[in-house]
A and B are shown apart, each in its own frame.
Chain A
């Protein structure tokens, strides 16, 4: 069952008339010029650099303009192990980015701490402090995987609504655009996670 808008589009296209909505063309423009924040934390950053270079060429998706300032960036690619010492700075960078902003957690470490999860110095996933839009598994993910994640994010942006009940996060005041920066504690960060963003799954013991 097609919507009336889609029917109109199908009818008019053969006659050389292009119909669009403001929402659609706005999202189309945004999703095809995502400017990532230029920073890398570990080996995933090397794959991110490879993705940006000529062989994989992230410019094909309009995301080649790596900005050295969070004020000019739309997308934060958390590429690599986030140590507990680095986490407050990552959150602060996220806070400094203007809306609408998106986060890709790239690699096992950025998602959950990865192989260093039980270590004394590694944050168990950046989703503890900031909302993550796309998680890319891998250790490190190949450039194709990063591009796939970027395409998924573009699809997500294309689906975003501007003026209705299920409007995008960036267009409502219900969700904050800044999140509290954690402090350094005696062993861990204080608090260990932001309870408005992250809910640890219940501990379940199998048979």
Chain B
């Protein structure tokens, strides 16, 4: 059923770069990658013509190139190996309650990770996306253009950074650990040398 939906969307926008991303796992939940400029159009088409009346889930993915080296902020080697290039992605899970179809997975990607990447908001189409897009903004730092109330949802306003990004480095607020082991033990050895 969803395969037909994918087909009809791809046929509707023949000159756009809409990609069908196959999922080879047993669940076989394939998804559709839509360019940001037509995302709202596609969403309205899905809702009004194909009956996808319910957006159950919105989440983000950080597709970073490179690996984080340091763990804490005071580490000297906190640089990212391979740079901070890559892109961010938003994933929408859509259902049709009316036709009992779903989930249909819609993905939209930003061009870069830096300088407040922006994507069109789908909240005007599905009201249920409002808080979840705010959460994605909070934790991944994707700005949703056209969102009625684009603020942080979970963290407080003064908070710096976006914690779910793969290059997020938490503050070095270590104090003590009753039973240290592994990474934490290594940490304590450097810490203890400084204070005592």
Binding site for B on A (CB under 8 A): 84-85, 118-121, 124, 184-188, 192, 200-205
Contact partner of B156 (CB less than 8 A), chosen from A124, A184, A192, is A184
- In the bound assembly, the distance between CA atoms of A194 and B66 in angstroms comes to 40
Q: Given A120-B170, A120-B171 in contact, is the A202-B176 Cβ separation under 8 Å? A: yes
22 A-B pairs with CB atoms under 8 Å apart are A85-B156, A120-B168, A120-B170, A121-B155, A184-B156, A184-B158, A186-B159, A187-B160, A187-B161, A187-B170, A187-B171, A188-B171, A200-B175, A201-B176, A202-B196, A203-B176, A203-B188, A203-B192, A204-B176, A204-B192, A205-B188, A205-B189
B195 touches A203 (CB 8 A): yes
B191 at the interface (CB under 8 A from A): yes
Q: Which of B157, B168, B170, B175 has the most CB of A within 10 A?
A: B175
Give the interface centre of A84, A188, A204 by most chain B CB atoms within 10 Å: A204
For the complex, give the distance between the alpha carbons of A192 and B192 in Å. 20
Q: Is the CB of A200 within 8 A of B176?
A: yes
Which B positions have Cβ atoms within 8 angstroms of A? 154-161, 163, 168, 170-171, 173, 175-176, 188-189, 191-192, 195-196
Main DSSP-derived SS at the B contact region: loop
Given contacts A203-B188, A204-B192, contact A187 B159 (CB under 8 A): yes
B171 — which chain A residues lie within 8 A by C-beta? 120, 187-188
Residues of A within 8 A of B157 (CB): 184
Q: Give the shortest distance, in Å, between B168 (CB) and chain A (any CB).
A: 8
Name which of B170, B189, B195 has the most chain A CB atoms within 10 A of its CB. B170
A205 to B177, CA, bound (A): 10
Residue of B nearest to A112 (CB): B178
B175 to chain A, nearest CB (A): 5
Most buried by B among A118, A185, A200, A203: A203
- Indicate if the CB atoms of B163 and A203 lie closer than 8 Å: no
A143 vs B39: C-alpha distance when bound (angstroms): 51
Q: Which residue of A is nearest B191, CB measured?
A: A203
The residue of chain A having its C-beta at the shortest distance from the C-beta of B160 within the complex is A186
Q: CB-CB < 8 A to A185: which residues of B? A: 158
